[in-house]
């Protein structure tokens, strides 16, 4: 039997109490219902979310105009953000980062629980397939994944790429967490149930400009 996983979420910095971002954030209609119950973080350990699509040597790179993004609190003082605005006038950096953080938590929670139904429509099929494969492997071995996300240390846009029809945004997440993979005999086979570690992940989101939907899609993940 697969054990029930209890995850203690203790992120005082999260913006969940402030409501959700507006038009330009991720999965906004769906998140509102599930957010309170489905939050957590996992990448950076040997748990199966190490998709590493960014490391594929032969992956096509249709976006040639990738630009670095300076740290800023809004759109007004960031030249690179303004480049995104030329393609997507509704883009708002703060709303996007709030939405990406919420979605990050939801993906982790769903991955740990083994149920991806609530987020599958917002993840690229190849990435979703890798998540499902890791969950299946874990279930076959009767392994239990536990995660205690302590806080977000960083949630920043590091670069972007635009075309006339779409936008890619690269986001870095740094979180403090306690995570462990436990086998059917209650033996820890990866991680530590008492040790807090800093985990760094890079996720890439894409939005098709001509689509009527304001939603972004998770298309790549990478752990460091």
Distance, in Å, from the CA atom of 148 to the CA atom of 11, rounded to the nearest integer, reads 10
Whether residue 196 contacts residue 41, with contact meaning beta carbons closer than 8 Å, is answered with: no
Most confident of 28-32, 81-85, 209-213: 81-85
**Over residues 204-221, mean pLDDT:** 90
Closest to 46 (Cα-Cα) out of 183, 202, 223: 223
In a domain, 8, yes or no: no
C-alpha distance from residue 58 to each of 53, 54, 66, 122, 199 (Å)? 10, 10, 18, 24, 27
In a domain, 11, yes or no: no
- Tell me if residue 144 falls in helix, strand or coil: strand
Higher pLDDT among residues 36 and 26, named by residue: 26
Domain count, the chain: 1
In a domain, 133, yes or no: yes
Q: Give backbone dihedrals phi and psi of 217, rounded to 5 degrees, phi first.
A: -120, 135
In a domain, 174, yes or no: yes
Whether 138 shows a pLDDT value over 50: the answer reads: yes
In a domain, 9, yes or no: no
Distance, in Å, from the CA atom of 60 to the CA atom of 57, rounded to the nearest integer, reads 9
In a domain, 138, yes or no: yes
Q: pTM above 0.75? A: no
Chain centre to alpha carbon of residue 139: 22
Q: Using one digit for the tens of pLDDT, what is the confidence trace for 51-91?
A: 544 333 334 344 334 434 443 445 544 767 887 888 888 89
Whether residue 172 contacts residue 156, with contact meaning beta carbons closer than 8 Å, is answered with: yes
In the chain, DSSP assigns E strands to 66-68, 144-162, 166-182, 188-191, 197-208, 217-223
**Over residues 94-110, mean pLDDT:** 94
Please give the full DSSP string across 35-79, using - where no structure is assigned.
TTT-----TTSSSS----GGG-TT-------EEE----SSSTT-H
Q: What is the CATH number of the domain that holds 165?
A: 3.10.450.240
Q: Using one digit for the tens of pLDDT, what is the confidence trace for 147-194?
A: 888 999 999 999 999 988 899 999 999 999 999 999 999 999 999 999
In a domain, 10, yes or no: no
In a domain, 3, yes or no: no
Q: Give backbone dihedrals phi and psi of 38, rounded to 5 degrees, phi first.
A: -130, 70
Q: In which domain, by residue range, is 89 found? A: 16-223
Residue 184 CB neighbours (<10 A): 12
Higher pLDDT among residues 203 and 209, named by residue: 203
Closest to 98 (Cα-Cα) out of 15, 13, 32, 169: 15
Distance, in Å, from the CA atom of 141 to the CA atom of 6, rounded to the nearest integer, reads 19
């Amino acid at each position: 039997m697969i054990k029930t996983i209890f995850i203690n979420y203790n992120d005082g910095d999260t913006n969940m109490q402030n409501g959700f971002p507006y038009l330009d954030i991720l999965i906004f209609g769906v998140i509102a219902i599930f957010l309170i119950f489905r939050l957590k973080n996992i990448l950076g350990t040997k748990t199966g979310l190490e998709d590493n699509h960014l490391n594929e040597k032969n992956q096509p790179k249709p976006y040639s105009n990738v630009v670095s993004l300076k740290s800023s609190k809004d759109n007004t003082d960031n030249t690179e953000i303004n480049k995104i605005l030329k393609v997507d006038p509704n883009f708002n950096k703060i709303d996007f980062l709030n939405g990406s953080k919420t979605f990050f938590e939801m993906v982790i929670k769903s991955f740990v629980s083994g149920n991806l139904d609530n987020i599958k429509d917002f993840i690229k099929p190849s990435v979703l397939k890798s998540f499902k494969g890791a969950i299946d492997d874990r279930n076959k071995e009767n392994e239990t994944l536990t995660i205690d996300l302590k806080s977000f240390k960083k949630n920043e846009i590091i670069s972007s790429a635009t075309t006339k029809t779409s936008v890619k945004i690269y986001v870095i997440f740094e979180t403090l967490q306690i995570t462990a993979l436990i086998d059917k005999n209650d033996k820890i086979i990866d991680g530590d149930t008492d040790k807090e570690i800093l985990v760094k992940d890079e996720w890439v989101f894409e939005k098709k400009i001509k689509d009527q939907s304001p939603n972004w899609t998770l298309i790549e993940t990478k752990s460091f």
